[in-house]
Structure 1
Amino acid sequence: MQLHLITCVGVEADLGYLPHFLAHYTAMGIAPANIHILSQASHPDHAGLDAADEIARTFDVLPALRWIAPYTSRSMWEQRRALQKDKVAPHDFVISADVDEFHEYPVPPAELCAWCSNAGYEVIQGPFIDRIAASGRLEELPPPGQSIFDTYPVQTELRHTLAGITDDINLGGSVKLMLFRGTVEPGLGGHGTLPQYRVRPHALGMHLSRFHGLEDPQMRFDLPFLVHHFKWTAGVDDRMRKRLLTPGISPAGKAYAERLLEFFDGAAEFDIDALCIRDPDKNDPADWKKSVEIWRRMARVQQLREQWWAVKNRVRKLTRVA
């Protein structure tokens, strides 16, 4: 059993993340030979493609597979699934992360994979923990070798704080598929699996977005598996405008980008005092395995309630027909 990391870097906008990303995951113990990068550019002569390979070499990671085409989310996930099928054996595990997503696990990932194997779990999800600068401003990414965590020390929740929850902007977009078996494939956006894999056993008992109350930041702050999200850097507003012009953008992606731009058009920085802040000293579970069991018990209770409501609704329909 091996552990692989699969990611995609758009070299035209996100290359600055790559050295921090590789430093983070190699420090977790992921073998450089098992780190698989997909480099995207619209043109084959873009200088960022060679630059990405040079960054990879400094971490002993092989040059990236190049994807030369205009970016769309759907195409990107198709490319990542193809890369997974080519590189990952069925009994292996995969960490899936965008270059602005830095996972936090309670133990080294290799140890976590062994635990999953023994327990029969094939899927781990976690929520976004948004990282922002202490100033509240959209600061530039730090240079390689300087801590990205120190540059953006504030841990909070911004997706639903800024965009709310609507028919298009739901809780599913605020959680990510973090770790999974090689026989499981991520779906669009990497928030969950493709539909045919949804019955695979989740470590937390069910898809994370189904938990009642997950819209409360404090509830998600207490989870043992987290995705630190370094989206909120200088230029995020321009990236959102570019996203709106992307062909095939989903209704959820369009609604989210529009809500964020409404905020950025009216504010130059975040009001730290108005945000719900995560405190690792208070929120990190003292016993992560006990925390998993608590979440699994909550999942069982909720599933029973959902079954009861499904039966009740069927009875109501039959009664109306009669």
Structure 2
Amino acid sequence: MPSVSPALIAVVGPVEPPMLAAWVRHYRWLGVERFLLAFHFPDHVPDTRRHQLQAAARELGIIPTGTSVGPWHEHTNTRLRDTLRHRAGPGWHLLADADEFQQYPAPLAEVIAQAEKSGRHLVGGLMLDRVAASGRLTDWRPEGGLDLAFPLGGHLTHRLLHGDPRKIVLARHDVAVASGNHRAPGHRPDTDRICAVHHFKWRSGVLDDLRRRVRHFASGTWEERTPAVRDEASRLLTHVGRNGGAINISDPRFAFRRVSLDRMPFDWPAEARGIFTSWRPYTRIGQY
């Protein structure tokens, strides 16, 4: 087995300091020892919030590799992420956004060893969107933990937003990964060993972020390569507008049920394999 744990690579935006702390604790619990983080803050984020988050990182024993301020172009994350990967050097890299908590069926060292044994240089994951029991986008209080605040997990990203739910969660340093960590051209993960990526995006403040994203991409203030990201944001905003400001947790398409970071969802391998292998990009005429 590899003797060194993977380096965690992440570009972090203006998340709440308690969320950053929970995220770091989670990955340390998984065995991650090395964190390479870059902060990027859009212009609207106050200086006080930036300083609070940077101070929170230092309190966690992490010195950010870099901090930048400015428009959040579609290519911003990819460029910053690749700079971090270059700095991390040889070995395996764990790729995660600050609202993504990965869950594996075995210790990381075993997962990596299995991938190497099978001749694969990456491991895939599938997003499992976490929401509050009411479906409302609520504040999160760290005292109770994420599982208590957002007990339901389902498939919102691709079944409502028509976004790509697939993730590359682990990749060797020489594997190029596409924007958003959704795929690695020329490589295919083992679809029988897909990890769960618990996605804690749907909380208080995200609607303002999505409205800002739509406005800035539509005006050209932020550069986009395709309208896909803007369209996904618009679909979520339309959905909650039709449902009294909440996500409709009773819609059977989303398959929301109680899940936990402590144990893999029931029948996850078959569920994840089916979605991972059948997902196709959504077209504007509504066909796959």
TM tier, shorter chain?
A: 0.7 to 0.9
2:200: which partner in 1? Answer: 230
The question of 1:111 aligning with 2:96 is answered no
- In structure 2, distance between residues paired with 1:265 and 1:9: 28
Shift of 1:262: 1.1
1:277: which partner in 2? Answer: 256
1:256: which partner in 2? Answer: 232
Deviation per CA, 1:50-70, whole angstroms, max 9, x where unpaired?
Answer: 322322233322234212332
| Equivalent position amino acid for 2:138 in 1 | E
- In structure 2, distance between residues paired with 1:125 and 1:54: 32
The question of 1:36 aligning with 2:6 is answered no
- In structure 2, distance between residues paired with 1:255 and 1:271: 19
- Call closer, same or farther: CA 1:39–1:77 in 2, change over 3 Å: same
1:60: which partner in 2? Answer: 61
Shift of 1:121: 1.4
Shift of 1:146: 3.9
1:149 maps to which of 147, 150, 153: 147
Q: Indicate the percent of aligned positions where both proteins have the same amino acid.
A: 25
- Call closer, same or farther: CA 1:282–1:87 in 2, change over 3 Å: closer
Give me the TM-score of the superposition, normalised by structure 2.
Answer: 0.80
- In structure 2, distance between residues paired with 1:36 and 1:20: 16
| Equivalent position amino acid for 1:9 in 2 | V
1:176 maps to which of 164, 167, 172: 167
**Contact kept? 2:38, 2:64, Cα under 8 Å:** no
Structure with the greater alpha carbon radius of gyration:
1
- In structure 2, distance between residues paired with 1:48 and 1:282: 34
- Call closer, same or farther: CA 1:282–1:10 in 2, change over 3 Å: closer
Structure 1: segments with no counterpart, 5+ residues? 164-168, 206-222, 303-322
Structure 2: segments with no counterpart, 5+ residues? 279-288
The question of 1:202 aligning with 2:177 is answered no
Shift of 1:282: 9.0
Select the structure that is richer in helix. 1
Alignment root-mean-square deviation, CA = 3.0
1:51-90 pair list within 5 angstroms: 51-89=52-90
- Call closer, same or farther: CA 1:277–1:264 in 2, change over 3 Å: closer
**Contact kept? 1:224, 1:285, Cα under 8 Å:** no
Matched residues, number: 261
1:214: which partner in 2? Answer: none
**Contact kept? 1:9, 1:37, Cα under 8 Å:** yes
Shift of 1:278: 4.1
- In structure 2, distance between residues paired with 1:149 and 1:64: 30
**Contact kept? 1:39, 1:52, Cα under 8 Å:** no
- Call closer, same or farther: CA 1:118–1:39 in 2, change over 3 Å: same
| Equivalent position amino acid for 2:180 in 1 | G
**Contact kept? 2:103, 2:264, Cα under 8 Å:** no
2:29 maps to which of 27, 30, 33: 27
Q: Which moved more, 1:34-43 or 1:266-275?
A: 266-275
- Call closer, same or farther: CA 1:57–1:278 in 2, change over 3 Å: same
The DSSP-based 3-state class of the residue aligned with 1:272 is coil
